[in-house]
Structure 1
Amino acid sequence: MLKVSKNKHFTGQTSPIFSDNVAKEVRAFHQQIEGYAPTPLVSLPELAKRLGVKTILVKDESKRFGLNAFKVLGGSYALGRQLAEHLNVDISEIDLKTVASKLEKPLTFTTATAGNHGTGVAWAAREMGQKAVVYMPKGSPQASVDRIRGLGAECIVTEVNYDDTVRLANQTAEDNGWMLVQDTAWEGYEKIPTWISQGYMTMADEAVEQAQEKPTHVLLQAGVGAMAGGVLGYLADKLGADTFKAIIAEPSAADCIFRSGDKGEMVNVTGSLSSIMAGLACGEPNPVTWPILRDCSHSFVSVEDNVAATGMRILGNPLAGDDPVTSGESGAICMGLLYLLMQEDSKEHAQALGLDEDSVVLLFSTEGDTNPDRYRRIVWEGEQALSF
């Protein structure tokens, strides 16, 4: 059900591109966007008691700009930086509502997405008066396609998996002279993925500001590792990499970070990458954020889909006295993992991770019910149940 690997390559080395100072600049950009507000940091004291830890804090990204997911933080900042560079001005001079007037004609931005990143890019492009073309891998839910199209973007579902869809989007951008806004990197394409990962630091900066106590454990989900690396990089710089344990979780069908962590260098996973956690079903690590994950993570974990489904049910149906959190498949993996780790059968893993009655655990629920039909099948009807 889960595989846990302690990181043998931990050094605690931080990165200047994911620092407290950079996070302040990023957050200043987000703060000037109409409708910006910090998302809630939800404390679950009753669940903490039940699981045997001191505190559980959940950053609820279903409230971000009305888009039901965190990804808009990266997409909007990257588009802002791209437009600032195009206009040869500082990012502080980019106002979403007026930037279109500085251009002779709208620019076209394109990306590949499992859903939430494309939504963020489409929203940011619309807000800035630009165009967006979004590519999605085969099997993508119609709800995600409709959401992206509803934001005014063109959305094309391909016949290939996520990583091959990224390659298709890149080639199409080159052929048409469009701007690619991709949240993973490769040789020669690092700047924009760096901006995207830096954009995600805003939610971590908010969480540190909102928390009443410093976390002892931070559980982060990874697809290519863009979010996990950006958040971990910020927290390592802000709090000190050795002051908390960072645990990186992935679906077993696409556990490229888990395998990379075991080897100490990037390892790709191929195949269909099929998982209910569509946002995490990525087989190739992001080389921009991989060094941070290698240097500052305590452990890597690979889990089955039913672990994320369990996390969704726990968050959506809380113990009396705790507040509910609507969390989608990719958002709830870490809650399901925490629950599993604190069961009797996983006691050895919990001890190795230092999870006990003094632990303050920080989680990021990165999306709400972005696929409402599947959310109901899982939470109402018990699809993907755990079996002990």
Structure 2
Amino acid sequence: MTIHRRPVYFNPAARSWSAEPFQSAELVENFHRKLKGYQKSPLVSLDGVAKEIGVGAVNVKVETKRLGLPAIEILGTSWAVFRAVTHQLGLPLESDIEEVKLRLSERPIALFAATQGSHGRAVARMGAILAVPVEIYVPAGLSAEAIALIKGEGATVIEAKGDYTAAIVEAQAASQLNKGILVQDVASDGHEDIPQWIVEGYSTMMREIDDQLSGQQIDLVVCPVGVGSLAQAAVTHCKKAGRPSAFMTVEPDTAGCLWKGLTRGEPAIEATSATIMEGLQCGTLSNAAWPPLKSGTTASLTISDYEAHLASLELQSFGIASGPCGAAALAALRRLDESDKARLGLNQNSVIVLLCTESTISYTIPKDVATDDVVSLTQTLVQIDSSNPDLGSTGGPGETAIAQYITAWLQHRDIESHWIEPTPTRPSVVGIVRGSGGGKSLMFNGHIDTVTLLGYDGDPLSAEIANGNIYGRGTADMKSGLAAAMVALASAKGLKLKGDVILAAVADEEAESIGTEHVLQAGWRADAAIVAEPTEMAIINSHKGLALFEVDIYGLAAHGSRPDLGIDAICKAGYFLVELDRHAQELQNRYGQRGKPDVGAPNIHASIIKGGEEVSSYPAQCTISIERRTIAGETAITVRAELLSILEKLAVTVSNFKFDLRSIFARSPYSIARDHAFVNLVVEQATKSTGMAPPVRGETYWTDMALLSDVGIPGVIWGPKGYGLHSKTEWVEIESVRQLAEAFVAIEADFCK
């Protein structure tokens, strides 16, 4: 359990607030009772849980099967559709279903909706009951399983060209074009009635609870919140005049729009990220739901996917087939400590009702986000396959899963997070703990991708601990350094700093470093940075850059028997390769005579040669790929000039020597003075953490620090003792990871004070 967790929101004024009851509640219940298959959903007593919590009773209203569907949505949707249809047909609300069907057979009215799952299936079911056509719009990429379930109700499913918002827009346009009825639970201009009727539809469940408890007083109702329709119905019922019930809401950590709105005092529109509680993944609350929830919510909290998963397993052990959304209320109750329970007025006689809204679903078991221990966090990060999709003979899955985990970890601690994904499927995440103002800002930069898992000896995702090390792909490069940065960011919450502390968890460093580029393009800057690559605890203040080129050497294609017609491009390329080898040696000699710079002499080599089509022909072209490692003062332009000089001399001295030279890619070298104030600060804190002064040196490789420097951010590369980078066995020394995390906290405390 983290000490930095997002707190529970409390509203003492909610105790005295009362709501106007639904005037149509009895009519709604009578309507539901007439539907085929209607029966009260169970209210199950969890005696063991009540004893553990220290209350009189914990009851679960089980909505895992309602009118033949595995979720509660059909209650609200059925009433809203019925009201909308009878209104359009000019029929009274007391009309019989068969009477309405008869009128619809004479005057068909199509239903339209957008959905991510249960809502669309409920609309489709009502369309089947009323024998009217239904079109359901779903966001791009919705699972085939979810689409099949909607189609199974007889609806036509249309995949939108974008996300859920795009699906709503398309559904609305289709309903207007076809003069149908749009059935959405989110109010918008011209679409206020149906969302309110959906809310009214849920009142049947609340009336059932009253009946099942035989008038027994409810002290606390715990309700999950998505768009807010169910919560609005529940708080309205609980807060009728004369009812002293407390009302608590629960949302996913990654979709806490109500919690954030309540803490700010105004409705919040939030970017959400993935959660197994898909039915609760809403970034905005219904306009109609906000006023009663703002006034009537006694407490509001958020939970992690892992907590929802554990709660669903617990309910299943009691014979309740609940999914993560359905188990959210139990997870919320489990989260309360003694102080929270006291503020809610709970005691040994209290009666609690949990609303379980959904049956079991299939999902990937989530990772726990509760740990602040840098070793445990490193293990979790390593267990997530984030191998780069552009590397290896079979590309990896990329960074999406690990970016989702990092976002969830940050949101669990109420740390501001930003999802940066200009290149689809290649996300980076920025987390920031903002200071009070007037202080310097510090960025921790770490890449979230790894090289390929192919060729690893053993399980690359094991994160096994042995002999004081953690083993697995990415342990050293660089998920341990990333974990240390995450722990430092969370610790900044309690330091009361003036300056900001920023985490840039970036994609694609192992290939082209587009992640750090994207973060910088999005405008993120800091006064200094630490790139937590594995450096064996040495502080790296300079490193080489790189420049990539391709040279095309041209010949003339001809039959292998006709040397009089052909020119051999590969043989011509040999002249260039000889000169390139001489140039490589000259670079070594040049800087050897002067005294090599800290990063070593610049170097160049031919990486790939491609040429020829078949053995029996003279090759028309030979392409040579070249990598040049640069030092301070060199650029891709100066390197190109050197290569061009070699090629132009060959064009004069070698007959029929023709070429093209292309610059493909370049990265700057990096350097910061050894006596720079930030370098001195890192050395000071590293010495305190490790007990010895670290070496400060240059390195031959390249890192994202150069990109940060290009936009004016100074810094160092400093990370743990790790070995086997990119090889068949990789590991990191645990003690160095702990020392690194400790020093990171000390550095931010000093630099950002």
Q: Which category describes the TM-score, using the shorter chain as reference length?
A: 0.7 to 0.9
Counterpart check, 1:331 vs 2:326: yes
How many angstroms does 1:34 deviate by?
1.4
Provide the rounded CA distance (Å) in 1 between the counterparts of 2:139 and 2:213. Answer: 37
- Aligned pair partner of 1:222 in 221, 225, 228: 225
Find the aligned partners of 1:175 and 1:12 in 2 and give their Cα distance: 47
Task: Find the partner of 1:66 among 43, 65, 68.
Answer: 68
Q: Whose RCO is larger (CA < 8 A, sep 6+)?
A: 1
Q: Deviations over 1:359-380 (max 9, x none)?
A: 21101111111x2x32xx54xx
Q: What is the alpha-carbon distance in structure 1 between the residues aligned to residue 236 and residue 53 of structure 2?
A: 28
**Structure 1 partner of 2:176:** 174
**Deviation of 1:66 (Å):** 1.5
> Over aligned residues, Cα RMSD in angstroms?
2.1
Q: Cα distance, 1:234 vs. partner?
A: 1.8
What number of residue pairs does the alignment pair up?
Answer: 365
Distance between the aligned counterparts of 2:168 and 2:15, measured in 1?
31
- Equivalent residue in structure 1 for 2:357, among 363, 366, 376: 366
User: 1-side partners of 2:127 and 2:221: how far apart?
Assistant: 32
1:52 corresponds to: 54
Residues 303 and 331, structure 2, Cα contact 8 Å, conserved in 1: no
How much does 1:385 deviate?
A: 4.9
User: 5 Å matches for 1:1-388?
Assistant: 2-7=6-11, 10=14, 12-16=16-20, 18-19=21-22, 21-95=23-97, 97-103=98-104, 104-212=106-214, 213-237=216-240, 240=243, 243-270=244-271, 272-318=272-318, 324-341=319-336, 346-369=337-360, 371=361, 373-374=362-363, 378=365, 383-385=366-368, 387=370
Which amino acid is 2:221 matched to?
V
- Runs of 5+ in structure 1 lacking a partner? 319-323
Look up the equivalent residue of 2:108 and give its one-letter code.
P
Compared CA separation, residues 54 and 232, structure 1 to 2 (3 A): same
For the residue of structure 1 that corresponds to 2:7, the secondary structure is: strand
The SS at the match of 1:249 is strand
* 1:141 to partner: Cα distance: 3.0
* Kept in 2: contact 1:122–1:132 (CA 8 A): yes
Distance 1:9 1:284 in 2: 24
Q: Secondary structure at the match of 2:24?
A: helix
Q: Deviation of residue 142 (structure 1)?
A: 2.6
CA distance 1:312–1:257, change in 2 (3 Å): same
Letter in 1 for 2:295: D
Query: Match for 1:5: what amino acid?
Result: Y
Equivalent-residue separation in structure 2 for 1:155 and 1:181 (angstroms): 15
Q: Which amino acid aligns with 1:338?
A: L
- Cα shift at 1:24: 0.9
Work out whether residues 86 and 100 of structure 2, in 8 Å CA contact, stay in contact via their aligned partners in 1.
no
C-alpha distance 72-366 of structure 1, shift in aligned 2 (>3 A): same
Q: Secondary structure at the match of 1:106?
A: coil
Question: Percent identity at matched positions?
Answer: 30
- The amino acid across from 2:270 in the alignment is V
Equivalent in the alignment of 2:579: none
Q: What is the distance in 2 between the residues matched to 1:93 and 1:12?
A: 39
Deviation at 1:144, TM superposition (A): 1.9
Instruction: Give the letter aligned to residue 352 of structure 1.
Output: R
The secondary structure found in structure 2 opposite 1:56 is: strand
Taking the aligned partners of 2:350 and 2:137, their CA distance within structure 1 comes to 41
Q: Secondary structure at the match of 2:250?
A: strand
- Runs (5+) with no aligned partner, structure 2: 372-753
Local SS of the residue matching 2:64: helix
**Given that residues 273 and 283 in structure 1 are in contact (C-alpha distance below 8 angstroms), is that contact kept between their aligned partners in structure 2?**
no
Quick check: 1:39–1:63 contact (8 Å CA) kept in 2? Answer: yes
Report the Cα offset of residue 25 of structure 1.
1.2
Higher gyration radius (CA): 2
Q: Distance in 2 between matches of 1:214 and 1:140?
A: 42
Kept in 1, the 8 Å contact 2:44–2:60? The answer is yes
Q: Do the aligned partners of residues 329 and 140 (structure 1) sit closer, same or farther apart at CA in structure 2, a change above 3 Å counting?
A: farther
> 1:321 — aligned with what?
none
* 1:122-142 residue CA offsets vs partner (Å, 9 max, x unmatched): 101100111111122344333
Deviations 1:242-282 (A, max 9, x none): x1110111112111111111222211112x53211111101
Q: Return the structure number with greater strand share.
A: 2
Rounded to whole Å, the distance in 2 between the matches of 1:7 and 1:174 is 42
Counterpart secondary structure, 2:358: coil
Aligned-pair CA distance for 1:152: 0.1
- For residues 9-54 of structure 1, what are the alpha-carbon distances to aligned partners after superposition, in whole Å with 9 as ceiling and x for unaligned? 63754444x42x4211110111111111111111111221122221
Does the residue aligned with 2:194 lie in a helix, a strand or coil? helix
CA, structure 1 residues 202+266, in 2 after alignment: closer, same or farther (shift >3 Å)?
same
Give the alignment's TM-score, normalised by structure 1.
Answer: 0.88
Distance in 1 (alpha carbons) for counterparts of 2:257 and 2:170: 21
Contact 2:225 2:249 (8 Å CA) reproduced? yes
